[in-house]
């Protein structure tokens, strides 16, 4: 019994890990999102007036049910915390304590809190403070948004550029506030009489918010206002550009790591050297497909080929279906022959595919002939097999 406990714990830990790409883990995350949705909906409905008692009771049960799920999740996360590589080398108790006081642990605890508050009777689902629960649960959603982590990394990566833009922002702000203070202080002493008053106007104008509560009236003041508004747009455009580029770069890096992780499951890539492999990895995209999804349809033009890194697909041919499993590829014939798809290919279970777009395929063809030759060889075999079948069908 004791020897199975760690592996069960490791499995639970992997299942609950937000970055885990396994199907079970992704299914759990969908269930989690669904449960949060149900909880938020129940609280939103509870906040409306004039609900019948039976509905209020039902909504309270729903909220308690959701909070119970989060309490169970908290317990499982706490129990499996020692499996986290972050706490490697720590005792089980210490690892759990470190997790419990981490941002993740506290958010999880806050999501479970409504259970105790409601069951102890200090709050009802239709209580005026119940919407606070919404905030606690919505906070938990941040763990589902890898973009939050990405944003933090992008800001950290681009901090030097962002700081220089922030310095420009502050410079324009102070110069504008001082100038408008000098122009307007006599005409509007209440609104521009002090530098902090003028700073409020400068911030509102530079960020292009423009409440219109404080407006310069002199010609000089309005000219300054015009320059500040245009500067505001430029500064915001600069910030947006820096963040957008940083995001795109970070996403490219993450996709590269995701592909690198998957590519080892395809034997065709096994013999390639690191440099060649890294070139291909840069061109592949990871796509997860649910069961029974048509990946390519017979007769449609082909713009990509696929490598199966997990799962299985069925190639639907006139003589019946052919199963292709992990490591196999499909969709190559349309690219090689520049003809429409020769068959429909459907996933039979959840599948992870690596997609190679036509333009990248043709580029690789000139760089890595050995790989394309292997693909061509298999395509020739498949073509011959299909032609043989077609000839047999015609003869009968």
CB of 295 vs ligand CMP, minimal distance in Å:
9
**E strands in the chain:** 285-289, 294-296, 304-310, 313-317, 320-324, 329-330, 344-347, 351-357
Q: Does 43 bind ligand CMP (CB under 6 A)?
A: no
> How far apart are the C-alpha atoms of 130 and 64, rounded to whole Å?
12
Choose, by CB under 6 A, the member of 44, 385, 387, 393 that binds ligand CMP: 385
Q: Does 62 bind ligand CMP (CB under 6 A)?
A: no
Q: Does 296 bind ligand CMP (CB under 6 A)?
A: yes
Q: What are phi and psi of 340, to 5 degrees?
A: -60, 160
* Residue 322 and residue 314 in contact, taking contact as beta carbons nearer than 8 Å: yes
CB of 314 vs ligand CMP, minimal distance in Å:
10
Q: Does 302 bind ligand CMP (CB under 6 A)?
A: yes
Choose, by CB under 6 A, the member of 126, 158, 332, 360 that binds ligand CMP: 332
User: Is residue 295 classed as helix, strand or coil in its secondary structure?
Assistant: strand
CB of 2 vs ligand CMP, minimal distance in Å:
48
In the sheet that 304-310 helps form, which strands lie side by side, from edge to edge? 285-289, 351-357, 304-310, 329-330
Of the candidate spans 38-46, 50-58, 215-223, 331-339, the one that interacts with ligand CMP by CB under 6 A turns out to be 331-339
> How far apart are the C-alpha atoms of 332 and 362, rounded to whole Å?
11
Choose, by CB under 6 A, the member of 40, 110, 154, 343 that binds ligand CMP: 343
191 or 308: CB nearest ligand CMP: 308
Q: Does 258 bind ligand CMP (CB under 6 A)?
A: no
Choose, by CB under 6 A, the member of 136, 315, 371, 372 that binds ligand CMP: 315
Total interface residues for ligand CMP by CB under 6 A: 17
> How far apart are the C-alpha atoms of 329 and 35, rounded to whole Å?
37
Interface residues for ligand CMP in 117-136 (CB under 6 A)?
A: none
243 or 317: CB nearest ligand CMP: 317
Work out the angle at residue 307's Cα, subtended by the Cα atoms of residues 284 and 364, and round it to the nearest 5 degrees: 50
71 or 304: CB nearest ligand CMP: 304
User: Is residue 386 classed as helix, strand or coil in its secondary structure?
Assistant: helix
Describe the chain by its helix, strand, coil percentages, rounded to 5: 65, 10, 25
Q: Does 322 bind ligand CMP (CB under 6 A)?
A: yes
Q: Applying CB under 6 A, which residues contact ligand CMP?
A: 296, 302, 315, 317, 322, 330-334, 341-343, 345, 382, 385-386
């Amino acid at each position: 019994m004791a020897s199975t406990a760690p592996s069960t714990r490791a499995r639970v830990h992997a299942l609950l890990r937000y970055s885990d790409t396994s199907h079970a883990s992704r299914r759990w995350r969908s269930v989690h999102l669904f449960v949060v949705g149900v909880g938020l909906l129940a609280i939103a409905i509870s906040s409306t007036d004039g609900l019948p008692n039976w509905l209020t009771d039902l909504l309270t049960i729903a909220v308690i049910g959701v909070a119970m799920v989060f309490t169970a999740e908290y317990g499982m996360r706490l129990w499996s915390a020692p499996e986290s590589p972050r706490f490697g080398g720590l005792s089980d108790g210490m690892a759990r304590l470190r997790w419990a006081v981490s941002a993740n642990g506290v958010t999880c605890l806050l999501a479970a809190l409504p259970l105790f508050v409601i069951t102890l009777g200090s709050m009802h689902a239709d209580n005026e403070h119940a919407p606070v629960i919404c905030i606690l649960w919505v906070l938990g959603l941040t763990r589902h948004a890898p973009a939050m982590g990405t944003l933090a990394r992008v800001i950290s990566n681009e901090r030097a550029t962002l700081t220089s833009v922030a310095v420009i922002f502050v410079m324009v702000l102070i110069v504008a506030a001082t100038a408008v203070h000098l122009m307007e202080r006599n005409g509007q002493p209440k609104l521009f009489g002090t530098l902090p008053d003028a700073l409020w106007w400068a911030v509102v104008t530079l960020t292009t918010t423009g409440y219109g509560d404080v407006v310069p009236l002199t010609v000089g003041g309005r000219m300054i206002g015009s320059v500040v508004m245009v500067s505001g747009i430029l500064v915001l455009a600069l910030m947006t550009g820096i963040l957008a580029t940083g995001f795109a770069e970070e996403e490219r890096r993450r996709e590269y790591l995701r592909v690198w992780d998957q590519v080892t499951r395809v034997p065709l890539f096994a013999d390639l050297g690191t440099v060649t492999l890294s070139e291909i990895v840069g061109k592949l995209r990871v796509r997860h497909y649910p069961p029974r999804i048509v990946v390519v349809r017979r007769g449609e033009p082909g713009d990509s080929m696929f490598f199966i890194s997990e799962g299985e697909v069925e190639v639907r041919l006139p003589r019946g279906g052919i199963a292709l499993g992990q490591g196999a590829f499909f969709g190559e014939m349309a690219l090689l022959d520049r003809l429409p798809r020769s068959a429909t290919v459907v996933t039979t279970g959840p599948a992870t595919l690596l997609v190679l777009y036509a333009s990248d395929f043709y580029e690789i063809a000139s760089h890595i002939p050995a790989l394309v030759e292997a693909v061509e060889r298999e395509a020739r075999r498949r073509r011959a097999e299909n032609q043989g079948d077609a000839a047999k069908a015609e003869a009968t």
